[in-house]
């Protein structure tokens, strides 16, 4: 039982990778749309590359989006609007007329018969006005015919039979010419007071009727019978047969997805996605073993793939026209920031291949996204410089626009039908890509990783830890600055991460703050505290600065990538001075382990560069009257000893790169110790 538990404990990292792989595959397949895949790939304007295709079953030909939109526009243009007649307003007008008539036609001016005639004439005019109603003047009819709804019954009528308020005076003059012309002004004043519009456009009913009409549009036109020839081999896929092929593809996918075979289709998706992610794991295991062994970094990569798949599927389910709004180039940007360009591009390509299952026009999508990913990898450098990110995003957006424009010309053969709004989607994609900066900060906090932006902040010598180092151990601080300059120059020369190397060099000796006077660079008098200690105790103090440096760095929340430099900058080398001193005092009984750093040895080019620069800079203080020849032999001896001791066997650094580093160190030390002209007194 104990042996089984021990075996499980040792294998837990591998088990975690299996679980991560399975969970990611399951999540991606879950996001996939429920439907089969048409087994033929076709593009408009390209010849049909397969054998003659015959209809496997009866299916309807779907109308194109342009045809459907044309029909909708025709219905909208021909729609007859609805207007509602308000009978209550009509009653109110008649009541107000009865109350106000005597004010404008005083009964004392007329005999009873004449007064009644004038009143009846006014009522007749109101009847004429309200026989069809008076329009309120809003939302004018845009057709010759309208539907007038009176008492919940709609009847058609000519729109010009509706009278507007502004036309009442001229209508009254026309109606009163025969026999009542002298009373025109009175009638106009009276009607101005009492008449109110009672016909208004019923927007809700009009919209509802329009929706009903639009819903009656048939989505198909014609049928293709089973066994009929759909397209012949070599025939160019043009507008008509392209539409037929799309109809067959949609019908095929819906027919294929049924309860009987849905699990088979899901199984096929699962196998393909599992293969893609397996390729990623194999790549990491072979070419990026440090990332493969680190489950946090592995999880980080898989989570980013999942996020991109989820966002793309979400957009497709809403409207696949917006698929290029998803800022997929954020993925290689982030991975290049935290890892390297090759890994970023590899993961980007695999993610695009996965998305090829679900996006429309998969070939066009895959081509554009891979091109954009390559441009991202090639152009983005020093992301902590804001201008670089804006320039890179501009280039990515340009690639999208040019690629889409080229595909449109290939498919359509002209530029007349370009959907210009798609260019807006590409611009929106570019703006969303700029969100990578705050996203990097979020990832740093969640996964404990470090980017060049954080490294730039850590390189500030006014940071709390470095300021404390400069106060407590000024000699060590100056030594760290010199080492940082040497290491940065060497890293630049061989293409390593210069920013990371510089930051690692600045912090590599922070452990010396606890006992600064026990290190020669901090001794300002001739008194050496080691003279009063035995060699083993002196060696213990010297060796402890590595462990104490790691503890201090963790206390100040320095990232692990920087702590790696503290841990490895002496590798497994020996404190030879005190070892030799102990041997002289104790003979052959000295335990070598007590005088050797615990390691580990450098495991990257950057940590290897720091070990070389640190040893060379520290030892260079002992040179007397240095010349270029002396410096050259001195550097060769120190670095050669480290190589001979196997300190760089785990670092991804070649002999050629080591020689380049040595060359840079020689040049820099020569510049530091160059001879000056002796000035006369």
Tens-digit pLDDT profile for residues 553-570: 999 888 888 999 999 998
Find where tokens 């109606």 sit. 175
Are the beta carbons of 595 and 582 closer than 8 angstroms?
Answer: yes
Q: In whole angstroms, what is the distance from residue 369 CA to residue 329 CA?
A: 8
Helices and strands in the chain, H and E counts: 28, 10
**Is residue 616 within 8 Å of 486, Cβ to Cβ?**
yes
Largest CA distance in the chain: 151
pLDDT at residue number 262: 67
Cα–Cα nearest to 457, from 503, 516, 510: 503
Write out pLDDT tens, residues 321-358.
Answer: 788 889 999 999 899 888 888 999 999 999 999 998 88
Place of tokens 């060497």: 490
End-to-end CA distance of the chain: 86
Determine the 3-state secondary structure of 591 from DSSP: coil
Say how far apart CA 431 and CA 428 lie, in whole Å.
Answer: 5
Are 548 and 506 in contact, with CB atoms under 8 Å apart? no
* pLDDT at residue 3 tops 60: no
> Contact, 389 vs 434, CB < 8 A?
yes
Which residue matches tokens 């600045």? 506
Checking if the pLDDT of 674 tops 80, the result is no
Residue where the block lists tokens 């066994």 = 227
Question: Is the model's pLDDT at 265 over the cut of 80?
Answer: no
Separation between Cα atoms, residue 451 and residue 24, nearest integer Å:
25
HSE-CB at 443 with a 13 A cutoff on CA atoms is: 26
Q: 467 near 426, Cβ under 8 Å? A: no
For residue 2, what pLDDT band results from cuts at 50, 70 and 90?
low
Quick one: CA dihedral 655, 656, 659, 660, positive or negative?
A: negative
pLDDT of residue 251: 67
Report for 147-161, 210-224, 343-357: range of highest mean pLDDT: 343-357
- pLDDT attached to residue 256: 53
Give Cα separations from 39 to 42, 224, 271, 367, 471 (angstroms): 10, 19, 17, 20, 71
Q: Compute CA distances 102 → 169, 190, 532, whole Å.
A: 20, 10, 128
What does the pLDDT look like over 535-549, one tens digit per residue?
888 888 888 889 999
Dihedral pair phi/psi, residue 59, rounded to 5°: -150, 155
Over range 262-278, report the average pLDDT.
85
- Render the burial of 298-317: b for 16+ CB within 10 Å, e for the rest: bebbbebbbebbebbbebbe
In this predicted model, what pLDDT tens digit does every residue of 526-536 receive, in sequence order? 777 877 788 88
Cα pseudo-dihedral 505, 511, 517, 519, rounded to 10: -50
Coil, helix or strand at residue 596: strand
Residue 252: its pLDDT value, please? 65
Cβ–Cβ < 8 Å for 546, 597: yes
pTM attached to this predicted model: 0.63
Mean predicted confidence (pLDDT) in 285-313:
91
Reported as a pLDDT band with limits 50, 70 and 90, residue 677 is very low
Whether 136 and 86 have beta carbons less than 8 Å apart is answered as no
Higher-pLDDT residue of 601 and 676 is 601
Q: Which of 359-363, 589-593, 652-656 has the lowest mean pLDDT?
A: 589-593
Between helix 560-568 and helix 498-507 the angle, nearest 10°, is 60
Q: What is the DSSP string of 44-99?
A: TTSB--SS-EE-SS-EEEEPPHHHHHHHHHHHHHHPPPEEEE-HHHHHHHHHHHHH
Q: Say how far apart CA 505 and CA 589 lie, in whole Å.
A: 36
Residue 579, SS3 per DSSP: helix
- The pLDDT of residue 154 is 84
- For residue 341, report the phi and psi dihedrals to the nearest 5 degrees: -65, -40
Q: Which of 97-111, 412-426, 459-473, 488-502 shows the lowest mean pLDDT across its residues?
A: 412-426
> Could you say which DSSP state residue 574 is in?
B
d(CA 435, CA 367): 24
DSSP string across 304-332: HHHHHHHHHHHHHHH-GGGGGGS-TTHHH
Model confidence at 225, pLDDT cuts 50, 70, 90, reads confident
Q: How confident is the model at residue 390 (pLDDT cuts 50, 70, 90)?
A: confident
Tell me the mean pLDDT in the region 134-146. 71
> Does residue 268 have a cis peptide bond before it, meaning omega lies within 30 degrees of 0?
no
- Report the candidate in 180, 74, 192, 197 with the shortest Cα–Cα distance to residue 138: 197
Give the list of residues 6+ apart from residue 359 with CB closer than 8 angstroms, or none: 312, 316, 320, 323, 365
Contact 79, 213 (CB under 8 A): yes
Higher pLDDT, 77 or 584: 77
**C-alpha–C-alpha distance, residues 498 and 596, integer Å:** 29
What pLDDT is attached to residue 150? Answer: 84
Contact at 8 Å (CB) between 515 and 547? no
**CA separation (Å) from 27 to 16, 112, 305?**
16, 93, 11
* Consecutive H or E run containing 148: strand 145-150
What is the overall mean pLDDT for the chain?
83
Position with higher pLDDT, 507 vs 77: 507
């Amino acid at each position: 039982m104990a042996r089984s538990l021990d075996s499980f404990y040792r294998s837990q990292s591998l088990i975690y990778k299996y679980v991560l792989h399975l969970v990611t595959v399951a999540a991606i397949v879950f996001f996939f749309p429920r439907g089969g895949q048409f087994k033929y790939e076709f593009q408009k304007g390209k010849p049909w590359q397969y054998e003659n295709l015959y209809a496997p079953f009866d299916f309807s030909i779907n109308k194109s989006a342009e045809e459907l939109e044309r029909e909708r526009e025709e219905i909208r243009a021909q729609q007859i609007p609805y207007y509602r007649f308000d009978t209550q307003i009509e009653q109110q007008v008649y009541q107000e007329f009865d109350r106000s008539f005597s004010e404008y036609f005083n009964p004392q001016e007329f005999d009873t018969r004449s007064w009644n005639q004038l009143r009846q004439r006014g009522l007749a005019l109101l009847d004429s006005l309200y026989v069809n109603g008076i329009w309120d003047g809003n939302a004018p009819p845009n057709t010759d015919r309208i539907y007038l709804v009176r008492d919940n019954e709609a009847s058609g009528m000519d729109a010009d039979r509706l009278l507007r308020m502004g036309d009442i005076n001229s209508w009254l003059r026309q109606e009163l010419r025969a026999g009542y012309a002298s009373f025109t002004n009175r009638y106009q004043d009276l009607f101005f007071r009492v008449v109110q519009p009672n016909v208004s456009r019923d927007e809700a009913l009009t919209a509802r009727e329009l929706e009903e009409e639009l819903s009656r549009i048939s989505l198909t036109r014609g049928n293709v019978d089973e066994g009929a020839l759909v397209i012949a081999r070599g025939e160019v896929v043009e507008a008509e047969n392209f539409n037929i092929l799309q109809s067959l593809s949609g019908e095929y996918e819906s027919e294929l997805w049924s309860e009987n075979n849905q699990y088979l289709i899901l199984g096929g998706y699962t196998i393909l996605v599992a293969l893609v992610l397996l390729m990623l794991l194999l790549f990491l295991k072979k070419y990026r073993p440090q990332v493969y062994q680190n489950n946090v970094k592995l999880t980080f990569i898989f989570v980013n793939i999942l996020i991109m798949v989820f966002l793309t599927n979400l957009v497709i389910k809403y409207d696949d026209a917006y698929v290029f709004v998803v800022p997929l180039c954020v993925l290689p940007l982030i991975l290049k920031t935290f890892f390297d360009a090759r890994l970023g591009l590899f993961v980007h390509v695999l993610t695009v291949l996965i998305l090829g299952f679900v996006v429309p026009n998969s070939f066009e999508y895959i081509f554009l996204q891979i091109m954009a990913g390559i441009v991202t990898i090639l152009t983005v450098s020093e992301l902590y410089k804001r201008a670089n990110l804006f320039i890179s995003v501009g280039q990515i957006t340009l690639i999208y626009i040019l690629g889409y424009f080229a595909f449109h010309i290939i498919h359509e053969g002209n530029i007349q039908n370009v959907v210009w709004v798609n260019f807006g989607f590409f611009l929106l994609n570019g703006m969303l890509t700029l969100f990578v900066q705050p996203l990097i900060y979020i990832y740093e906090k969640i996964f404990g990783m470090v980017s060049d932006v954080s490294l730039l902040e850590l390189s500030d010598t006014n940071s709390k830890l470095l300021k404390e180092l400069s106060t407590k151990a000024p000699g060590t601080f100056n030594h760290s600055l010199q080492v940082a300059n040497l290491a940065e120059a060497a890293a630049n020369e061989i293409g390593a991460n210069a920013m990371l190397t510089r930051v690692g060099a600045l912090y590599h000796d922070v452990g010396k703050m606890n006992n600064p006077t026990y290190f020669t660079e901090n001794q300002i008098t001739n008194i050496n505290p080691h003279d009063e200690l035995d060699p083993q105790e002196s060696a213990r103090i010297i060796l402890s600065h590595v462990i104490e440096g790691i503890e201090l760095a963790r206390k100040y929340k320095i990232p692990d990538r920087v702590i790696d430099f503290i841990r490895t900058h002496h590798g497994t080398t020996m404190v030879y001075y005190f070892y030799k001193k102990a041997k002289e005092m104790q003979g052959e009984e000295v335990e070598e382990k007590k005088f050797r750093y615990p390691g580990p040895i450098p495991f990257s080019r950057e940590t290897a560069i720091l070990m070389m620069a640190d040893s060379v800079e520290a030892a260079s203080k002992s040179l007397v009257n240095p010349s270029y020849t002396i410096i050259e032999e001195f550097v060769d001896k120190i670095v050669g000893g480290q190589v001979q001791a196997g300190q760089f066997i785990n670092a991804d650094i070649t002999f050629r790169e080591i020689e380049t580093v040595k060359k840079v160190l020689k040049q820099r030390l020569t510049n530091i110790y160059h001879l000056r002209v002796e000035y006369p007194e």
